[in-house]
């Protein structure tokens, strides 16, 4: 039976370090903006969207020098809808991006140091109360923008847990608890943040390249552990 820490080691050996989540550090240095906000915006825009389309929307914001909490909080919603259009559901997403910008502006003076300088459970609870932010988006923000040691569970993770299978009840909270417990028991505390960061990215890569809805089992790095491929061959 494969475990989360073994899954991490196999995928890391296969894909290498992926260094996710991408941020345009040079842009933010030049503009004096906070690169963590790019992650927050990206986490909302990537809901039901391919990352290539999210990149287009982020580039639109950067080309207009608008990738900033205060600027988006004051931005006309119609213009924001046009800017984020490549990601789909653009009316809804524009409202969500604008709302969280206004929220951070009014409650934290647009200072992400203040926002993130609290216990992870408290921040998570607050994020989940914001319209349009569910567990996956909240945890992506916490992990990749806030550098908080929390494991992000997405559709790929649930699919892989079901297919291998990984011995866990396939709800978001159960998967997250199991992965965090197993990884925390196997690695040094100082390694956990980096491993959660990499493992989520590695699973996404596996899901996109191998463990698709119509999987490419023959070349998958997990094929010898996977029950799903055995069922297909029967």
Q: Once rounded to an integer, what is the mean pLDDT over residues 189-193?
A: 95
Q: Within 10 Å of residue 74's Cβ, how many Cβ atoms?
A: 13
Tell me which residue has tokens 């894909």. Answer: 15
Q: Which long-range contacts (CB under 8 A, 24 or more apart) does 103-112 make?
A: 103/130, 104/37, 104/69, 104/73, 105/69, 105/70, 105/73, 110/69, 110/70, 110/73, 112/34, 112/36, 112/37, 112/69, 112/145
Q: Of 21, 83, 89, nearest to 49 (Cα)?
A: 89
Structure confidence at residue 179 as a pLDDT band (50, 70, 90): very high
Domains annotated on the chain, with CATH: 4-18+153-187+201-233 (1.10.1670.10), 33-145 (1.10.340.30)
DSSP letter for 218, please.
Answer: G
Highest-scoring range by mean pLDDT, 1-5, 100-104, 221-225: 100-104
CA distance 173 to 121: 13
Task: DSSP for 87-141, please give it.
Answer: GSSHHHHHHHHHHHHHHHHHHHTT-HHHHHSS-HHHHHHHHHTSTT--HHHHHHI
Q: Is the pLDDT of residue 191 over 80?
A: yes
Q: Is the pLDDT of residue 44 over 90?
A: yes
Mean pLDDT of the chain: 96
125-162 pLDDT, tens digit per residue, is 999 999 999 999 999 999 999 999 999 999 999 999 99
């Amino acid at each position: 039976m494969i475990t989360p820490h073994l899954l991490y080691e196999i995928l890391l050996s296969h894909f290498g370090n992926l260094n996710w989540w991408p941020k345009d550090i040079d842009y933010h240095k030049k503009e004096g903006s906070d690169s963590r906000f790019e992650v927050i915006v990206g986490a909302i825009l990537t809901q039901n969207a391919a990352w290539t389309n999210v990149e287009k929307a982020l580039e639109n914001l950067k080309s207009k020098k608008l990738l900033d909490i205060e600027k988006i909080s004051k931005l006309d919603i119609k213009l924001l809808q046009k800017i984020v259009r490549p990601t789909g559901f653009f009316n809804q997403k524009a409202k969500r991006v604008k709302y969280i910008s206004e929220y951070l502006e009014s409650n934290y003076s647009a200072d992400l140091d203040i926002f993130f300088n609290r216990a992870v459970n408290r921040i998570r609870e607050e994020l989940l109360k914001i319209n349009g932010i569910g567990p996956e988006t909240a945890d992506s923000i916490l992990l990749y923008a806030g550098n908080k040691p929390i494991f992000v569970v997405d559709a790929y993770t649930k699919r892989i847990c079901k297919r291998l299978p990984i011995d866990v009840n396939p709800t978001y909270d159960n998967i997250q608890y199991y992965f965090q417990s197993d990884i925390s028991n196997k690695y040094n505390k100082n390694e956990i943040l980096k491993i959660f960061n990499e493992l989520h990215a590695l699973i996404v890569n596996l899901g996109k390249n191998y463990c698709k809805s119509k999987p490419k089992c023959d070349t998958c790095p997990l094929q010898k552990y996977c029950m799903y491929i055995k069922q297909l061959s029967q």
